[in-house]
Amino acid sequence: MMRKHIEIGCLFLLLGACQEIKTNFELPILGRNQIATKEVNGIFIKDTIPHRIADFSFINQDSAVITNASFKDKIYVADFFFINCPSICPEMSKQMYRVYEEFLENENVGLLSHTIDPTYDTVAALANYARLLGVSSPKWEFVTGDKDQIYDIGETSYMVVANEDENAPGGFIHSGAFLLIDKERRVRGVYDGTIASQVDLLIKDINRLLSSYEQ
Amino acid sequence: MSNNYLFLFFYLFLVLSCNSYQKPVESQLPENLDEAYKMKYTQYLIQGKILYNTNCTHCHQNSGEGFRKLYPALIGSAALMVDMSQAACLIKYGTKATRKALNQNIAMPAQAELSNLEIAEILTYIGNSWGNQSGFISVSQVETLLVDCATY
């Protein structure tokens, strides 16, 4: 009888192992806080300001200007890529496409891919890329712009590596990270865009973040 | 006793069902080959698969299925079935060599560092996997296939 109980216990343990562990936590707010000091009526007041994505202005695949306002009231996933990238970008595009399909009908979610090779990846090249991939704006924005501005926002706002490097495959060094940005322009998650299981987690976290706005 | 075995099998089933099992893709070898030829053929298929996994899977995917319209599928590819020289030139020189034919697609990078032997192994592998049946491609064949790349 006892043995039977143990066996049934084992069974549940195994069944449980197949399932994800359910967690009910809030996503962290990533990045370094800044302490700002301001003077109010002669008194200095210190205030904690969380890390936020800086103001930006880029051009998308349809020649439209894309700014922070384009993602107003949306959460979005950002990444950095270039079309002639021989290494990780094809996998990143494939994984980002999964996110695209998953949230195609949800207008609260957007995707933002920055090219780090604006010399080659013109608006026309990006439009062709989006067409071949079968995706469109405004769900998935492919943006180009001033090279230094792209590298700068990558490294200071999204906290990922994006730069030229003649020793890297294709001539550019960049991270394969997907960044989850909330409606307050804060970074809420970093995922490896070349690993399917990481993107599974991203999709779950997007849903988690979305539901936090519904409460 | 038999009850225990039943449980054991059930556990095993559960454990196995947690892992996703991927069916290996078999490359096909024509029948009735003599032993020496068959051995060389198999060697090319194995080397070709290793080279394919390093150099080609990023875009063309593990089973040659490609991705969307960005990265063409190799399964049933005309470049492999009809015009093998186009496939050889694409691998060696990228789409610059075949720009005229493929100007609608994004560029395929040149892989000039691949030797003719390596190209032969890759062509033999992709030409005879996932249902493709283009037969054995030798090094000397690759040399011939690469002669006219500039005309593409």
Reported as a single tens digit per residue, the pLDDT across A134-169 is 999 999 999 999 999 999 999 999 999 888 888 887
Higher confidence at residue A4 or residue B47? B47
Give the pLDDT score at B22.
46
Domain definitions of chain B by residue range:
33-151
Higher confidence at residue A150 or residue B14? A150
Task: Indicate which CATH number applies to the domain containing A69.
Answer: 3.40.30.10
How many CB pairs (< 8 A) connect A and B? 48
Alpha carbon distance A81, B106 (integer Å): 14
The CA-to-CA distance between both ends of chain A, in Å, stands at 48
Chain A neighbors of B105, CB-CB under 8 A = 132
Q: Do A83 and B18 touch (CB under 8 A)?
A: no
Reported as a single tens digit per residue, the pLDDT across A102-146 is 999 999 999 999 999 999 899 999 999 999 999 999 999 999 999
Give the pLDDT score at A62.
97
What domain range includes position A153? Answer: 52-214
Burial class (CB in 10 A: 0-12, 13-18, 19+), B29: middle
Give the pLDDT score at B151.
57
Around A144, how many Cα atoms within 13 Å sit in the side-chain half-sphere?
17
Query: A140 and B68 in contact (C-beta within 8 Å)?
Result: no
- State the DSSP string of B61-101: -TTS--BTTTB---TT-HHHHT-HHHHHHHHHHGGGTTHHH
Q: How confident is the model at residue B78 (pLDDT cuts 50, 70, 90)?
A: confident
Mutate to test the interface with B, among A101, A133, A136, A172 (most CBs of B within 10 A): A133
Place of tokens 């349809």: A62
In a domain, A42, yes or no: no
Mode of pairing for the β-strands spanning A109-115 and A140-144: parallel
Q: How confident is the model at residue B102 (pLDDT cuts 50, 70, 90)?
A: very low
Chain B neighbors of A172, CB-CB under 8 A = none
Residue ranges in A2-88 assigned as alpha helix (H) = 2-18
What's the length of chain B? 152
Tokens standing for residue A53: 């994505």
The answer to whether A50 contacts chain B (CB < 8 Å) is no
* Residue A4 CB partners (closer than 8 Å, separation 6+): none
In a domain, A40, yes or no: no
Of B10, B18, B106, the CB nearest to A132: B106
Higher confidence at residue B134 or residue A4? B134
Q: How far is A187 from chain B (nearest CA, A)?
A: 28
Q: Do B10 and A11 touch (CB under 8 A)?
A: yes
Prior bond to A138 cis, omega within 30?
yes
pLDDT higher than 60, residue A65? yes
- The CATH code for residues B33-151 is 1.10.760.10
Query: Mean per-residue pLDDT for A58-70?
Result: 97
* Residue B5 CB partners (closer than 8 Å, separation 6+): none
**Residues 17-46, chain B, touching A (beta carbon < 8 A):** 17-18
Chain B neighbors of A11, CB-CB under 8 A = 7, 10-11, 14
Reported as a single tens digit per residue, the pLDDT across A30-60 is 988 888 888 888 888 888 888 999 999 999 9
The amino acid sitting at A195 is I
Higher confidence at residue B66 or residue B31? B66
Q: How many domains does chain A have?
A: 1
